[in-house]
Homo-oligomer: A and B are copies of this chain.
Amino acid sequence: MSTDTALTVPTRFVEAGGIRFAYRRWGKPGGPPLVFMQYFSGNLDDWDPQVTDGLAAEYDVILFDNAGVGSSGGETPGAVSEMARHALAFSDALGLKMFSVVGFSLGGMIAQQLALDHPDRVNRIILLGTGPRGGEGMTFTELSAEERADPDRFLLAAFFSPTDVSQAAGREYLKRLAARTRDRDLPVTTKAAEAQLHAIREWGAVPSSDRYATLPKIKHPTLVVHGTKDIVVQPVNAFILAEHLPEAQLIMYPDSSHGAQYQHAELFLKHAKLFLNA
């Protein structure tokens, strides 16, 4: 074990394809690499330390800011396919031959695209609070880059359900996110967030035919995790993923919204390890 934790691991940089990517890497040396792909407007600091440290006990945990996000250089593209290309370039730069992916929301879209485009590079996939290309209600017409003006309020409203139990879990989550005090990441710019939103909306557009045709081509063992009360990505999208991905296991947690895996962090860690170690 390295002595680093989510709170102390330094932010490092690696150059790939002319882009300087910010990343943090810690965990079990020589353990199976696990690359984390973040949600709309999230940066390195927005991964729950309870989850990343929990996985770092057994895996080589790698968080990164994609192009144009947080402390990374380059420009955020307006398409998921380009984001997947950047993610691969970053992985190449770290010398990762094969890795598992944890993709949350937008990150889950990138993970699907990456697995589709480069099946031999991806081992296992964990999809958190995400949906298929052309899923149900995934054009997010109500979302805007300005929603992030009050991030704590945004997270409590979007990631947690209105119940007292869920809101209390949300406040604990916010505390965990704030616990890293030094070497914090840069905020995601409005320009980057707008490009991400463009990419998400393009992903969410319902095609005129063969709506879920790409899913059967993603043959990787996949764990789909969702909240039964997710108000950002409708829960039915997780069900659709499980129906169409040939090797998907689906787990849904009760009374939880977009941050289901953080509200139920302890149980999620156990489920994720059972899946990753299978």
A positions within 8 Å CB-CB of B: 228, 235-236, 239, 242-243, 245-255, 267, 270-271, 274, 278
Contact = CB atoms under 8 A, between A and B. Distances in A.
8 contacts: A228-B248, A235-B243, A247-B254, A248-B252, A249-B254, A267-B274, A270-B274, A271-B274
A276 to B, nearest CB: 13
User: Can you tell how many copies of this chain the complex includes?
Assistant: 2
A228 B254 contact: no
Nearest to A251: B251
A253 B228 CA distance: 17
Main secondary structure of the interface of A (DSSP, over half): mixed
Nearest to A236: B239
Nearest to A274: B270
A70 to B, nearest CB: 33
A158 to B, nearest CB: 19
A86 B239 CA distance: 35
Nearest to A226: B250
A26 to B, nearest CB: 27
Contact of A255 (B247, B254, B270): B247
A228 B250 contact: yes
Contacts of A270: 274
A249 B248 CA distance: 17
A121 to B, nearest CB: 21
Contact of A243 (B228, B247, B253, B271): B228
Nearest to A275: B267
B255 A252 contact: no
A243 B161 CA distance: 13
Contact of A253 (B235, B245, B249, B253): B249
A252 B250 contact: yes
A185 B20 CA distance: 69
A254 B248 CA distance: 5
Contact of A250 (B246, B250, B274): B250
Nearest to A252: B250
Of the listed residues A228, A236, A245, A251, the one surrounded by the most CB atoms of chain B closer than 10 A to its CB is A228
A255 B239 CA distance: 14
Given A248-B254, A249-B252, 4 more contacts: A236-B239, A248-B252, A249-B251, A271-B274
Contacts of A254: 242, 245-249
A230 B190 CA distance: 45
A160 to B, nearest CB: 15
A255 B249 CA distance: 9
Nearest to A247: B254
Given A267-B278, A270-B274, A274-B267, A255 B246 contact: yes
